Amino acid sequence: MEIRICKPVHLNKDHLDQIIELIIIGGQIKREKNEIKNIILMADLVALKEHDGIVISTATLKNQCLSYRDRVFNSAGVRFSERYLKELGFIITNPDFENQGHCQHVLSEFFIRISMNSIYATTRKPAMVHLLRKLGFIESGAIYNHDLRLLIFDSLTEASTCNILMNGSFRIQKGQLQT
């Protein structure tokens, strides 16, 4: 199984369509198909793990508009959003391949390329909070919209510096997590 990290314009149509369908099936994003496609195409990078042409797991480093970012941070009661220009999102695994470590594998490879950015992410899923914490993200602010959590990764602070080991496991330098 291959992990590919590329600019969205370099995705083939089939992979892009599969990613959009996975996002819709996941049910976490309440947007139209064309809107999801546009967000992906405006992103910096997309990571995907595929096998025999089937997208197994994916993640996107998104360039959300500043009003969206500010709304997320304000909803969570967090000031100082200016540093966080990138959102890690559309993190999803094909339901036929869940609970096999594919998402962690994609994120570990992807994070090598994107960890120089100060990044935010939002999620409703406790398992995703756990996985993002392994990468050095910290929960910030309050839960908003009933169950959404804001997590931030600050590339400028030592507390968020993360080593990703060659075998795909994580080690936080200034923290307690080692897996």
Domain ranges of the chain: 2-172
pLDDT of amino acid 157: 65
**Of 102 and 29, the one with more pLDDT:** 102
Q: How far apart are CA 118 and CA 140, in angstroms?
A: 14
| Mean pLDDT along residues 137-146 | 94
The answer, yes or no, to whether residue 158 has pLDDT greater than 60, is no
Q: What is the mean pLDDT of the chain?
A: 86
Q: What is the pTM of this model?
A: 0.83
Report the 3 state secondary structure along 120-148. Answer: EEEECCHHHHHHHHHCCCEEEEEEECCCE
pLDDT of amino acid 168: 46
Q: How far apart are CA 30 and CA 173, in angstroms?
A: 36
- Summarised one tens digit per residue, pLDDT across range 17-41 is 999 999 998 877 778 888 999 999 9
The answer, yes or no, to whether residue 164 has pLDDT greater than 70, is no
User: Is domain 2-172 annotated with CATH 3.40.630.30?
Assistant: yes
- Summarised one tens digit per residue, pLDDT across range 119-130 is 999 999 999 999
